[in-house]
Amino acid sequence: MKPVTRNDILKAFQDLGIVPGDTLMVHTSLSSIGYVSGGAQTVISALTEAVGDNGTVMMPTQSWKNLDPETGVHWEVPREYWQVIRDTWPAYDRNITPTNTMGAVAEMFRSWPGTLRSDHPARSVAAWGCNAAFLTRDHDLSNIFGDGSPIGRLYDLDARVLLIGVGYDKNTSLHLADARASYPGKHFCTEHSAVTENGSRVWKSYETLFVDGEDFNDIGNAFEKEQPVAETLLGKATVKLMSQRKLVDFAVSWIEKHRGR
């Protein structure tokens, strides 16, 4: 298969209708595209060129390994050693803490020149462009995905969601619908992460909405039957572009009608 180049990526973005000034929430699987000449660097370069200096690109840069072993994120460590993790896991540092399974593009993007990263120790985002500071500031420990969070602020900006080779199960914006919807079984939980407070590492507890995403692909399939979603092919990957507001509004109604019933 012919290598995918920067021009190929820009052409795909143009076909989707991405224009300068757009604010994009991007989820991407580099491997799904096939061989990209220049890899993650090429993808990010194309994204920033496509939206231009007046646009914004945001990606999830979650470091969810910085959660209590009780949640199952350290499945490879026997229970007898969980306290060792609680006592020694490094405090989150937005400048150096790596992403966990966010993909090669997001991992490079978090340290891309001009990119800002939010301060949530487990569910951070990173953003580049004119709205980056607005999106990433004051990412409250307890408000991971709700109104006032980076995802909620994307809604305020009438952003669009770009899925490159991934499904709706990776579509973080659907968690805003989680936060807004009322449904049976909705509940909060206590999470813990290593953070820095007053110059010292502490194992911090905080209450937050329990994250539920098992039905996100079902929501996406239903959404596409009712709303236009731009779609094209990039290498071997299907690429989709949609309105975040329309997706979230649809998902709130879908969740309230279907989830837990």
Domain limits of the chain?
A: 6-258
Report which of 166, 168, 172 is spatially closest to residue 146, judged by C-alpha positions.
172
Q: What is d(CA 244, CA 151) in angstroms, rounded to the nearest whole number?
A: 9
179 has pLDDT over 80: yes
Global pTM reads: 0.96
Segment 122-176, tens digit of pLDDT: 999 999 999 999 999 999 999 999 999 999 999 999 999 999 999 999 999 999 9
Q: What pLDDT score does 125 carry?
A: 98
Amino acid in position 74: H
Q: What is the mean pLDDT of residues 78-99?
A: 98
pLDDT band at 212 (very low <50, low <70, confident <90, very high): confident
58 has pLDDT over 90: yes
Q: What pLDDT score does 213 carry?
A: 84
Q: What pLDDT score does 261 carry?
A: 67
Q: What pLDDT score does 211 carry?
A: 82
Determine the distance from the C-alpha atom of residue 10 to the mean position of all C-alpha atoms in its chain, rounded to a whole number.
Answer: 22
The per-residue pLDDT of the chain, averaged, comes to: 97
Q: Kindly give the interhelix angle for 39-51 and 6-16, rounded to the nearest 10 degrees.
A: 40
Q: What pLDDT score does 43 carry?
A: 98
